[in-house]
Structure 1
Amino acid sequence: MTATTPEPEPALPIPPTWPVTPDPRAASIEHPMDRYRTRTVAAVPPIDRDDPAVWGEVTTPELAAFDTDGYAIFDELLNPAEVADLAAEVDRLAGDPELRGDERVIVEKASNGVRSIFEVHRLSTVIAELVRQERIVGPARQVLGSEVYIHQSRVNYMPGFSGAGFYWHSDFETWHAEDGMPAPRAVSLSIALTDNFPFNGSLMVMPGSHRTFVACQGETPPENYRESLREQQTGVPDRTALTDLADKHGIAQFTGARGSALLFDSNLLHGSSNNITPFPRSNLFLVFNSVENALDTPYAAPAPRPGYIAARDVVPVR
């Protein structure tokens, strides 16, 4: 992980900064038991997280700083032969003409190339077998302090020259608002299938930002996922909050050889720049949620997202 300064992202609408006079209409979209209000009409300032970051007892050395930083790095989670097999498998999925019209395949707005494929642990026996291995699921069980299930799995592709980045966001903010995840008791494991350089759109994180919940302004449109998975506009944090947290925590970058991995908290702020280099980047993401944190009704969206984005079958990984 090395500190870096990200390239400027495309301009987004700037919501009002605080203090803001409360809007009485905001209360109408609140969930009765919502501890993490977001997608409100009026701006809501960031709050301190009132849930732990580590729910269990960690014994894996790489997890020693997870509570403080909100992430852990595994330098050689997969060996070169395993990475080669996995990379060939995700290339096969991306090139499968029968999958091209599947809703689980998300294409880039500009290039029409494959941006993401969801529910890959159900589309591929290779990935399904990988998920069940203790070195993959074990760290998630330690951090979350319980059995876990796959909330979401996907491959993100970032081709050379044209790969579009992902703007700063907290996964939990979206999963809470649009999927009904009650608490930030979930983690993502990002496995590098290509070399992640500082210059080919590798993931940036704000260490320690997982302890602050940043609410987002603006109501969630119906079926927002159809656009947000291609280019997120709803659920984007306020620039003032992002600046304050970057000033406080700094920015680190996940770089490393193929086979390395990053395990990070669901509320950690992260994003990536566009890839204008010739070097493609692709990562497998496995999201583990605690079986004790099953999804409820969405806290700030008209209806739940499809199961291939947010699983509602709480079946522990065995």
Structure 2
Amino acid sequence: MTLTDTRVDDSYPTRITGKPEHLPRTHPTVWGTEADGPLDAATLANHETRGYTVVDQLLSPGEVQTYWQELVRMSSGDHRDDERVITEAKTGEVRSIFDVHETSELIAELVRDPRVLDRARQILGSEVYIHQSRVNYMPGFKGTGFYWHSDFETWHAEDGMPLPRAVSCSIALTDNYPFNGGLMVMPGSQRTFVQCAGETPEDNYKSSLKEQRVGVPSEEDITSLAAEYGIDQFTGQAGSALWFDSNVMHGSSNNITPYPRSNIFVVFNSVDNALQKPYAAIEPRPAFIAGRDSTPLTR
């Protein structure tokens, strides 16, 4: 795809030439109602405004230990030939493992658990499917962060997700402190779509999953958004969960403390928002990163 090849049906153009702009979001953050699930009207209204919701103690301490042992199991062994395993660019240690709802029976059960699935359905106002699942490892002393970005910008440009009708659930399996690389979010920033400049390289995912260079906002954009929306940080005990909109600007810093930070990360997409051809890439990313089977998830 050349930079002049644009889609006429694209509501959120990005990877452009020239100076990127801040575009107003034209679609809701919350698509369902109080009657559709466990979240009450006040929580849904807050999610619509701020773009995220924290659920404390989603998992019990016993469940946390079970899933932590599963993360340890998945990270062990030889992963050199497994493309789903992403390693740190500098240390070679496991950074993320993708498609875990397909390779772990425990996580396959978790994404169908009513505590998780019902909230996803309610926020998106429809049946849902898994766009992406992974486990993230941020070891003490060596864990590297993720630069500021909107997930939807990448999912739109490289996966072909039409609208920001997707929600992510990050379930902490370790305590999240303000100092061990916890996720930072800009509350309300989901209402602004930040265009990014530059053409998408071929097979960009092979490098972007280690360190994203294309599809990230400029420092000027980040400064402007922070001045408008401010920055919150997700902290809390292991077992807590952060639900956040696909277009919320977020990022995390390196972890130089002795305390690791690991989580299960699941992205739910509405079945009415199934992937099309990429909006700003030659080929779509592999299915283990961006699921293209929009069959509704059932218990």
SS of 1:135's equivalent?
A: helix
SS of 2:48's equivalent?
A: helix
Structure 1, 182-191 or 50-59: larger mean CA deviation:
50-59
Q: Counterpart in 2 of 1:13? A: none
Structure 2 residue 73 is matched with structure 1 residue 92: yes
- Structure 1 counterpart of 2:24, from 48, 67, 75: 48
Structure 1, 117-126 or 51-60: larger mean CA deviation:
51-60
C-alpha separation in 2, matches of 1:181 and 1:300: 11
C-alpha separation in 1, matches of 2:24 and 2:8: 20
Structure 1, 173-182 or 87-96: larger mean CA deviation:
87-96
- Mapping for residues 282-301 of structure 1, pairs under 5 Å: 282-301=262-281
- Structure 1 counterpart of 2:15, from 13, 17, 39: 39
SS of 1:139's equivalent?
A: helix
Structure 2 residue 62 is matched with structure 1 residue 81: yes
Show CA shifts across 1:6-52 (max 9, x none): xxxxxxxxxxxxxxxxxxx85x1312311101001222211110011
Q: Counterpart in 1 of 2:241? A: 261
Tell me which amino acid in the other structure corresponds to 1:52. P
- Structure 2 counterpart of 1:67, from 39, 42, 48: 48
Q: Counterpart in 2 of 1:278? A: 258
C-alpha separation in 2, matches of 1:90 and 1:211: 34
RMSD: 1.1
Q: Give the % identical residues.
A: 60
Show CA shifts across 1:67-90 (max 9, x none): 000000001100000010001001
C-alpha separation in 2, matches of 1:102 and 1:147: 31
C-alpha separation in 1, matches of 2:27 and 2:276: 17
TM-score normalized by structure 1? Answer: 0.90
Show CA shifts across 1:93-121 (max 9, x none): 00132x44200000001110000000001
Structure 2 residue 134 is matched with structure 1 residue 158: no
Query: How many pairs are equivalent?
Result: 292
Structure 2: runs of 5 or more not aligned: none
Show CA shifts across 1:104-150 (max 9, x none): 00000111000000000111001001111111111111111100000
Q: Counterpart in 1 of 2:228? A: 248
- Structure 1 counterpart of 2:115, from 114, 127, 135: 135
Structure 1: runs of 5 or more not aligned: 1-24
Q: Counterpart in 1 of 2:147? A: 167
Tell me which amino acid in the other structure corresponds to 1:82. E
CA contact (8 A) 1:44 1:216 kept: yes
SS of 1:65's equivalent?
A: helix
TM-score normalized by structure 2? Answer: 0.96
CA-CA distance at 1:264 after TM superposition: 0.2
C-alpha separation in 2, matches of 1:256 and 1:291: 31
CA contact (8 A) 2:33 2:44 kept: no
C-alpha separation in 1, matches of 2:97 and 2:19: 33
C-alpha separation in 2, matches of 1:214 and 1:290: 22
CA contact (8 A) 1:29 1:40 kept: no
C-alpha separation in 2, matches of 1:63 and 1:193: 25
CA-CA distance at 1:245 after TM superposition: 1.1
Tell me which amino acid in the other structure corresponds to 2:294. V
CA-CA distance at 1:64 after TM superposition: 4.1
Q: Counterpart in 2 of 1:11? A: none
CA contact (8 A) 2:30 2:44 kept: no
Structure 2 residue 210 is matched with structure 1 residue 230: yes
C-alpha separation in 1, matches of 2:233 and 2:219: 20
CA contact (8 A) 1:184 1:266 kept: yes
